[in-house]
Amino acid sequence: MAETIRVLHVLGGVGLGGAESRIMDLYRQMDRSEIQFDFLVHRNSKKTEFYEEEIRKLGGHIYVLPRFRVYNYLAYRRAVRDFFRQHHEFRVVQGHMTSTAGIYLPVARKSGVPVTVAHSRNAGVVKGPKGIATKFFRRKLAEKADHCFACSVLAGEDVFGKAAVEAGRVKIIHNAIDAGRFTYNAQKRAETRERLGLGEQLVLGHVGRFDYQKNHPYLIDIFAQLCRIREDAVLLLLGEGADQDRIREKCRELEIEERVRFLGNQKRPEDYYQAMDIFVLPSFFEGLPGVLVEAQAAGLKCFVSDTVTREAKATDLVTYLSIEQPAKVWAERIVAAAGYERQDTYQTMKDAGFDVKTQAAGYRLFYQKGDSSRL
């Protein structure tokens, strides 16, 4: 019997984030007697993260490195070297944390890992010193990995550079989901709305961590304007993050706190998509947002900032608007679109390449033989 191939995914953590969710969707599709995933995460606390229990049940290991803070560059590099000196079991190291991939991937390669991958999952950085440092450490990353993957052309250009993308050095692999989980289900919609006490209200929804990228302040401005038009409007917010308290305070200041529900991280987000009527994503930047793919899979009308890549648009349900416009413009467009009929979009999502069951076959070939032609 052939030895199990072990693939090491390098991430900031294994919490409920976009990259983490997409990797877990893929992990569940693997024959784990043939291919097993392990995870190398970066954190200083011992707090258990969202996917840890499931990873261990699936047979994966979770290893921990200290967070990279720039000033601890030498200590971080030593920790990476020590890790790969102790672990020689990985056939593939796939780095989704591209801010430090220029450090850990060359070390992994030098330590004898046969295949190294830098995987870009985003198309922008936060403002300030952290963003500047990220760009600095990503320099020439395309030359430091055996393979370069990106979830969109924009994400590829942002991390690896336009020249690398145009030269065919970067493989574009759209973020795929378990589309069948999210397919519109009228019964599930009714059950979830009843459980949440939503009745016949107009329900807007957003899924994402509370930080700068997701632009929650503008989302709240949109909803406040919408509340002036529709007295029955409700906003569901799924996710957690450092900016959550600030957004709660903004809701109180605008006197809409009773109409905004902070639901935290949910193990079954698909149920909440069913309950929504409109999905809103006014992000400053994205790579290829899995939540937008999920919303379309659920048959939802989606209103999205025009900074989000068009590659995420698999259906006619997506409307792009500028976040430079007054929030009132978004509110009016949302209200005008609210009376549509939900449809089953599963086949459309599958045909567009967004179903993970199809993508998993390509990844199996890549992990086994290094052949990325089916990805």
The pLDDT tens digits of the residues spanning 169-191 come to: 999 999 999 999 999 999 999 99
pLDDT mean over 153-165: 96
pLDDT of amino acid 127: 82
Q: Which two tokens stand for residue 76?
A: 């971080």
The pLDDT tens digits of the residues spanning 76-90 come to: 999 999 999 999 999
Question: Nearest CA to 354 among 171, 178, 207?
Answer: 178
Residue written as tokens 């305070």?
Answer: 249
pLDDT of amino acid 139: 94
Region class of 201: left (phi > 0), else alpha (psi between -120 and 50), else beta: beta
State pTM to two decimals: 0.93
CA distance 54 to 57: 5
Buried b (16+ CB within 10 A) or exposed e, 114-142: ebbbbbbbbbbbeeeeeeebbeebbeebb
pLDDT mean over 340-366: 96
pLDDT of amino acid 240: 95
Could you write out the DSSP letters of every residue in 262-308? EEE--S-HHHHHHH-SEEEE--S--SS-HHHHHHHHTT-EEEEETTS
pLDDT of amino acid 7: 98
Question: Nearest CA to 117 among 151, 73, 87?
Answer: 151
pLDDT of amino acid 126: 82
pLDDT of amino acid 125: 83
CA distance 219 to 210: 11
The pLDDT tens digits of the residues spanning 117-142 come to: 999 999 888 888 888 888 999 999 99
Identify whether the C-beta of residue 203 lies closer than 8 Å to the C-beta of residue 295.
Answer: no
pLDDT of amino acid 95: 98
The pLDDT tens digits of the residues spanning 320-330 come to: 999 999 999 99
Does residue 278 register a pLDDT over 70? Answer: yes
The pLDDT tens digits of the residues spanning 286-317 come to: 999 999 999 999 999 999 999 999 999 999 99
The pLDDT tens digits of the residues spanning 36-79 come to: 999 999 998 888 999 999 999 999 999 999 999 999 999 999 99
Does residue 1 register a pLDDT over 80? Answer: no
Kindly report the average pLDDT of the chain as a whole number: 96
Which ranges constitute the DSSP H helices of 167-212? 179-182, 186-196
Percent of the chain with pLDDT over 70: 100
Q: HSE on the CB side for 247, CA within 13 Å?
A: 26
